[in-house]
Structure 1
Amino acid sequence: MQPIAPSSLPAWARSPARRLIAVLPVLPVLALSACGGGRDPDSLTQPRNHLLGVDRGATGGDDELKGGVNAYLWRGAIDTLSFMPFASADANGGVILTDWYQPPSSSGERFKIAAYILDRRLRSDALRVSVFRQEKQGSEWVDTPVATNTTSDITTRILARARQLRADNGNRN
């Protein structure tokens, strides 16, 4: 490619300052279009659930995320487990993994929780919770069994919070 001679450019393009001024109005449009990524164009017209902070699914109900999990269960799990540090949370896949949490009252044990939202419906079988516990023995953390009611108590709290969110949002599905 041969360079373009400055004399062949229009008058506005000969000055670097004028070129910058000519390009400035286009930059925000380019920046915003780059943010669109691989979004589904239909998702831009979907209503937004302002209480849950998630988009409603394109295929239907008020309590679905686009990825196919129940938004109330998702938000209920986030709210219930918020006292623990999150290692990861995938709203599309419906998976929440916490990092190890050591209760302030106990220096010799720690807990980790995995919560899975399995369905679009707000049902108890759409939620699976796994709780892991370790005790410190010497300088090592050793896996130990969790009390029998711990997992069911956390599951019950998540379900109760999800139902409360649905009721607060005015949906009686």
Structure 2
Amino acid sequence: MVRNTLCRIGIAVMLLGMLSACGTLRNLGSEATARPDTYTNANNPSNIETDPNNTIWSIFNRKSAERSVSVNKYLWSASLEVLNFLPVQSVDPFTGVIVTGYGTPPGGGRSYRATVLIDDPALDARSLNVALQTRGGRAVNRATARAVEDAILSRARELRIADNRL
């Protein structure tokens, strides 16, 4: 009796597996409509409900239930350029986070590390958050952090102007 039930369950699982292989997952997270000045997550689960080419089995292929964050490419590039004296520990263009290790700025005597968060596709000061820390673990004064943010914003605007000239 138990053996017969296990056999039936095994056959049902095998049939479901074969049936799920028949579905297609074309254009899942297609970024054809993405703005050219943003990076976006290609595995955006919010596209599953709106894509007519998905099957019922598409719900099992979601990477995450979270929404993707668009990152302004000019702010991203400018952050990496301005903070190029710091060794990069990790970057994630899909969430907009850059984490650096400790480094000394040119002509400076103190060692710093930075964490940058770009959480909006707009080229705006509200899109950029920079946290600086000294080697002793203390946060830097607000004027220094503001100067770094201003340098990143200025460089991002320069990159955008240069990009529009092409």
Q: Same fold (TM over 0.5)?
A: yes
- Structure 2 counterpart of 1:165: 159
Does 1:86 find its partner at 2:94?
no
CA distance in 1, matches of 2:146, 2:77: 18
Q: Which runs of 4+ in 1 moved over 3 A?
A: 40-43, 57-60, 102-107
Give the direction of change, closer, same or farther, for the CA distance of 1:166–1:103 in structure 2 (3 Å limit).
closer
Gaps of 5+ in 2: 1-26, 42-69
- Structure 1 counterpart of 2:33: 59
Q: Over residues 1-53 of structure 1, what are the superposed CA-to-partner deviations in whole Å (9 max), with x where a residue is unaligned?
A: xxxxxxxxxxxxxxxxxxxxxxxxxxxxxxxxxxxxxxx6776xxxxxxxxxx
Report the CA distance between 1:127 and its aligned residue: 0.5
Give the direction of change, closer, same or farther, for the CA distance of 1:62–1:84 in structure 2 (3 Å limit).
same
Give the direction of change, closer, same or farther, for the CA distance of 1:105–1:41 in structure 2 (3 Å limit).
same
| TM-score (structure 2 length as normaliser) | 0.59
Greater fraction strand: 1
Equivalent AA in structure 2 for residue 62 of structure 1 = P
Name the SS for the 1:60 alignment partner.
Answer: coil
RMSD: 2.7
Native 8 Å contact 1:58 1:66 kept in 2: no
Where does 1:1-173 land on structure 2 (aligned, <5 Å)?
58-67=32-41, 68-103=70-105, 109-134=110-135, 142-170=136-164
Give the percent of matched residue pairs that are identical in Structure 1 and Structure 2. Answer: 31
| TM-score (structure 1 length as normaliser) | 0.57
Query: What is the number of equivalent residue pairs in this alignment?
Result: 113
Equivalent AA in structure 2 for residue 80 of structure 1 = V
Gaps of 5+ in 1: 1-39, 44-56, 135-141
CA distance in 2, matches of 1:81, 1:155: 10
